[in-house]
Chains A and B, each alone.
Chain A
Amino acid sequence: KAGVTQTPRYLIKTRGQQVTLSCSPISGHRSVSWYQQTPGQGLQFLFEYFSETQRNKGNFPGRFSGRQFSNSRSEMNVSTLELGDSALYLCASSPTGAPTYEQYFGPGTRLTVT
């Protein structure tokens, strides 16, 4: 069974631009969660999607948005990039998002904003 994949793996953007990151969950998994990992703030929850619906959102500005497609693939978008958005963005998938199931993480996308 293929694992969670994230594309691209590395990205360099300029302040003010926007970026879209993609996450393909494990086949059959309908829940996808996104996390931002920085040295200062650690791992912070961004949002969770299930069956194309955002069920939960973390404490991030509206510049951070996401969506999920009918095949459970998910994208997150960051508009008007700021230097502080430089981070490792991780996505995780699970069958339903419930804690009885393991969340499987992808390798992450390293975003650098210059």
Chain B
Amino acid sequence: AQTVTQSQPEMSVQEAETVTLSCTYDTSENNYYLFWYKQPPSRQMILVIRQEAYKQQNATENRFSVNFQKAAKSFSLKISDSQLGDTAMYFCAFMIYSGAGSYQLTFGKGTKLSVIP
């Protein structure tokens, strides 16, 4: 079974500071994709960043970057220069091929991030 663990249910950070959200996963698959999604209070799930497991280089999207450690099955998200709009639930997820042309996302339980002014 594939599992995703986010060990920090809640975190807070001061505006303009840096925060790192942790994620570990367990899979026997070698080919998979990892994602961080953001769900603000409005509830619309938004993709933050994506990482292909076969790529060693860590993905970066503006203020968001990941630290992908494949051997350790770890995929943390770093948010730099935190902004009030970053306040949201953050979900770590991975996607594997599940047959018949279909891919399936498995999500962690989420980390609630609050950015404090």
Interface residues of A (CB under 8 A from B): 33, 35, 42-45, 48, 50, 55-56, 58, 88, 90, 92, 96-99, 102-103, 105-108
CB distance from A102 to the nearest CB of B (A): 5
Q: Complex formed: what's the CA distance from A107 to B33 in Å?
A: 24
Of all chain B residues, which has the CB nearest A42?
B109
Q: Complex formed: what's the CA distance from A51 to B106 in Å?
A: 23
B102 within 8 A of A: yes
Of A43, A44, A56, A105, the residue contacting B99 (CB under 8 A) is: A56
B98 within 8 A of A: yes
Of all chain B residues, which has the CB nearest A110?
B43
User: Which residues on A sit within 8 Å (CB–CB) of B99?
Assistant: 56
Count of chain B residues with a beta carbon within 8 Å of a chain A beta carbon = 26
Q: CB distance A55 to B102 under 8 Å?
A: yes
User: Secondary structure of the A side of the interface?
Assistant: strand
Of B43, B50, B101, B107, the residue contacting A107 (CB under 8 A) is: B43
B100 within 8 A of A: yes
User: Which residues on A sit within 8 Å (CB–CB) of B98?
Assistant: 56
Q: CB distance A55 to B101 under 8 Å?
A: yes
Q: Complex formed: what's the CA distance from A99 to B103 in Å?
A: 7
CB distance from A25 to the nearest CB of B (A): 14
CB distance from A112 to the nearest CB of B (A): 15
Looking at A42, A45, A50, A106, which has the most chain B CB atoms within 10 Å of its CB? Answer: A42
B95 within 8 A of A: yes
Of A48, A50, A92, A107, the residue contacting B42 (CB under 8 A) is: A107
A sample of 10 inter-chain contacts (CB < 8 A) reads A33-B105, A35-B107, A43-B91, A44-B107, A45-B105, A48-B102, A56-B102, A96-B101, A99-B103, A108-B43
